[in-house]
Structure 1
Amino acid sequence: MKSIATIVLATTILGLPTLAIAGEGWTGFYLGAHVGPTDAEVTFVGSTESDSSTAYGLQAGYNHSLSNNWVIGGELSYGTAKHSIGGDPPWDSDSIRLKFKTGYDLGTTLVYGILGYVNIDDGLDSEDGTTFGIGINYKATDTIILGGEILRDSVNFFGSDLDVTSLLFSVAYQF
């Protein structure tokens, strides 16, 4: 299902009419919101359990266009979702990510890779880990950016591996 959603997102974004002003670039601060499906998988000793949910949150960042069509940037995001693993009642899972992004400017479209830090807090414990993924942004206007990311967060909770995969759709305003 995720691969179909990714193909639909990429086709939709790339197929949108070009509304952005050519040559505006990707340099600048932005602020936005995101939402999308998320899958959490916990590997206990000898067994694995998983749960699906919907994540939503906010992000703020800065991109800088380089002279050779490459773009570098950083983003701070907050997200939350409800998960239930092991028969437990649903609990809030909050995440804070600090992402470093490098991508290629295709005009009104930016494709990029992500590597960064994540902190996941389930209300009982807070653990640090890594996040990585890929993304695509489309400038619908000179200030409105539509996007999508596939992220993988990995942390260790109480000796168990927690991996969270998210497909996040975003809208942002570039200053």
Structure 2
Amino acid sequence: MKLVTLTAAGALFAGAAYAGGIAPAPVEPVPMAPAPIVMPSQDWTGGYAGASLGWGGVNLDGDDDALDAILDDDDDTDDDDDGIFDVDGDGVVGGAFAGYQYDFGQFVLGAELDLNAANLDFDDDDFSDFLDDSDEDEEGVSIDQIHRLKMRAGYDAGNTLIYGVAGAAYAEADAFGETLSDTGYVVGAGVDYKVTDNVVVGGEVLYHKFDDFDDTGVDADVTTVQARVAYQF
């Protein structure tokens, strides 16, 4: 009887020791999957307005008859130097612009109006071979204004918008004291970058063509390169 009692007591003691003295096996932590990287997206829909500043180059070509038309005198140009003139000028161009565009996802379509003052002029002797002595005191030739109404179509690359433009252009010039103006077309390309949700910086290169400027027989080609900053509403 004593043997049975001692055996039972020993078994009970061993069970109690086992239950309290052995720690449970540690549980391995479950690795967490990394959070997916979400690329920031931008919506280019909305109105905007800003300012631009840059450089412009202009090419004029015509003949003596064109200069006679500008000077309004059939005998003003030097008859000893009949021929074709082809001259280049350049200068500063800058102004303000405003527009509206709609973002269809990856395709952006919009319209923009910009108004620019310019100082695209020529060297004093560019036309000297085609003028007689009485015209040497006349003022030279310069393009003073360039305005544009453009359609814009571009690719939405997130913070960057790459676009092309096409539309109508208007230019006003001062030629030998006469004010001339004409309309033509403009094509080009540009890029905008969103610094913040509302502030946009960019650049634009545009080519303008004016045939028979103000019915003078002079053809004008103008290329402008302008930096831009805008606020999108």
The alignment's TM-score, normalised by the length of structure 1, stands at 0.83
Question: In the aligned structure 1, how far is the partner of 2:219 from the partner of 2:143?
Answer: 18
Report which of the two structures shows the higher radius of gyration computed on alpha carbons.
2
Kindly indicate whether the alpha-carbon contact (under 8 Å) linking 1:109 and 1:138 is maintained by their aligned counterparts in 2. yes
Give the 3-state SS of the residue equivalent to 1:26 in structure 2: coil
Unaligned regions of 5+ residues in structure 1, if any? 1-20
Q: CA deviation at 1:24?
A: 3.2
Q: Deviations over 1:22-55 (max 9, x none)?
A: 3331000000000011101111232310111011
Q: Deviations over 1:120-173 (max 9, x none)?
A: 011511100000000000001000010100000111312111111001100000
Which of the residues 99, 102, 107 maps onto 1:70? Answer: 107
Aligned residues: 154
Unaligned regions of 5+ residues in structure 2, if any? 1-38, 64-83, 125-138
Pairing 1:111–2:162 present = yes
Question: In the aligned structure 1, how far is the partner of 2:183 from the partner of 2:40?
Answer: 40
**Corresponding residue for residue 52 of structure 2:** 34
Higher relative helix content:
2
Change (3 A) 1:149 1:73: same
Question: In the aligned structure 2, how far is the partner of 1:142 from the partner of 1:118?
Answer: 31
Q: State the AA in 2 paired with 1:162.
A: A
**Corresponding residue for residue 49 of structure 1:** 87
Q: State the AA in 2 paired with 1:41.
A: N
Question: In the aligned structure 2, how far is the partner of 1:54 from the partner of 1:41?
Answer: 15
Higher relative strand content:
1
The alignment's TM-score, normalised by the length of structure 2, stands at 0.63
**Corresponding residue for residue 132 of structure 1:** 187
**Corresponding residue for residue 174 of structure 1:** 232
Kindly indicate whether the alpha-carbon contact (under 8 Å) linking 1:49 and 1:86 is maintained by their aligned counterparts in 2. no
Give the 3-state SS of the residue equivalent to 2:60 in structure 1: strand
Pairing 1:98–2:156 present = no
